[in-house]
Amino acid sequence: MLGYCQGRNPESAKATVTAVRALLRFLHVAGHVPVPLTAAVPAVAGWRLASLPRGLEAAVVTRLLASCDRGTMTGRRDYAILVMLARLGLRGAEVAALELGDVDWHGGEVAVRGKGNRIERLPLPAEVGEAVAGYLTAGRPRCGAVTVFCTVRAPYRQLSPAAIRGIMAQACRRAGLGRVGAHRLRHSLATEMLRAGASLPEVGQVLRHRSQLATSVYAKVDENALRVLARPWPGGQS
């Protein structure tokens, strides 16, 4: 395990440890291994809130959005997906699960199916609404799929969270960027909100965090709040 987990991120290493322990537990219960060996698998060190949220600069987000060819069906779909990720801070799975009936055009709201099967409503910004409307009217194929976003080739079906990640990866390639995950756009929104003067509770409301602890990690990038805590450099030099 020590050799296998070298160079891997803590989340991946923890998942591997869990899988190996489950296998060893099964082997012991089934009688293939005479003694329990789960305790021999080392744990992976990982500290909550130890890292910084890795958001993208606004110029980079603009490049990602501009990389979509909105003159094509695929480009209009991908642009609408990226706009929802960047402007609403949705998770990839939430965008994939969005249904046609979840968009309230008259009320200017969108219902989001979040973690724990919770349905929460968010305002529908004009930029997002225009992108989704452009896709629905001149990009989405006529099909029986209930979700907003679907494949561009028959048989038309709902996009998977993996497909959303693939769309993000293709946008990075077109924009000349290294591959980054769709979740980075969620971090980018939170960071930009803080820079614009939003408070941590307001960021937590937009990101739909259940606990304030989940939002507290963004305190590390709240430059306006941290600036008052900085102490003068000895000697009066900055």
Q: Which residues are catalytic?
A: 91, 115, 183, 186, 209, 218
Whole-number Å distance between alpha carbons of 37 and 20 = 10
Range 108-128 burial, b when 16+ CB lie within 10 A, else e: eebebbbeeeeeeebebeeeb
Residue 155: cis peptide before it, omega within 30 degrees of 0: yes
**Is the separation of the CB atoms in 31 and 195 below 8 Å?**
no
Whole-number Å distance between alpha carbons of 201 and 82 = 25
Concatenated DSSP letters for 12-52? HHHHHHHHHHHHHHHHHHTTSSSS--GGGSPPPP--TT-S-
What's the chain's length in residues? 238
